[in-house]
Amino acid sequence: MTEEAIRSRLLELQDVSYGDFQSKLMPTVDRSTVIGVRIPALRALAKEIFKSGGTEEFLSALPHPLYEENQLHAMLISLMKDYDVCLRATQAFLPYVDNWATCDTLLPKVFRRHRQELLPVIREWLASGKTYTVRFGVGTLMRYYLDEGFSPDYPLLVSRLRSQEYYVNMMIAWYFATALAKQYDAVLPLIESRALDAWTHNKAIQKAIESYRITPEQKAYLRTLKVRGTKN
């Protein structure tokens, strides 16, 4: 499908009230660029386009002017089954990601099967200094490296990140809350030693305490580790 044809399909799926609601959740995105297409409809369209095999023109048409086009782009990359092709597409797209929703929509499942060879690339993402590239790198470590293939080196790597960006620090907090749920004993020493900055430390504990995967005893102990006198 051509870029024009895809944009036409997106406009057919428009829900203005949903666009208004969604825009309130994404302060970094200009409301005029949001059509208002619900996620299930976007995913269905992405699968349709992917199955048709007609993605090259659209994926090469960067930057996209519309939020939903970026969402669709992220979904199409996520469906790719060839690791090398997927990685090239991800690398080409990341510089244009300008909001948390598109960043978190980019979920290449093929990465799970190539964890070792992806690690050097993740390190590059974390060192990039670009808000959503760093967020994506932390999110990739959270999704694909906290179960099989886990190493204590990975939370240590994340703990050393320092950023003034809210959307980076929120992802770091999310990472540690998830890590506490999955690798509690390995990750707890980093919380006990306050390896994170105070705001992110407290936010990670808050999110962990909200998790049903953390036991009541663990939650009680985590509460004692919060940094007092810090706004969260």
Q: What is the pTM of this model?
A: 0.94
Residue that is written with structure tokens 């980093």 in the block: 190
Helix (H, G, I), strand (E, B) or coil at 212: coil
Q: Do 128 and 95 meet the contact criterion of CB atoms below 8 Å apart? A: no
| Boundary residue ending a domain (107, 129, 164) | 107
pLDDT of the chain, 232 residues: tens digit per residue: 788 889 999 999 999 999 999 999 999 999 999 999 999 999 999 999 999 887 888 999 999 999 999 999 999 999 999 999 999 999 999 999 999 999 999 999 999 999 999 999 999 999 999 999 999 999 999 999 999 889 999 999 999 999 999 999 999 999 999 999 999 999 999 999 999 999 999 999 999 999 999 999 999 999 999 998 766 6
Amino acid identity of 150?
A: F
Residue 37: domain span: 1-107
Domain endpoint, select from 90, 107, 124? 107
Separation CA 169–CA 171 (nearest Å): 5
Name residues whose C-beta falls within 8 Å of residue 20's C-beta, 6 or more positions apart in sequence. 31, 36
Cα(202)–Cα(193) distance, integer angstroms: 13
Instruction: Please say which residue of 57, 80, 107 terminates a domain.
Output: 107
Q: Enter the tokens of residue 133.
A: 């590239």
Question: How many distinct structural domains can be found in the chain?
Answer: 2
For residue 125, how far is the Cα from the chain centroid? 12
Are residues 209 and 175 both part of a single domain? yes
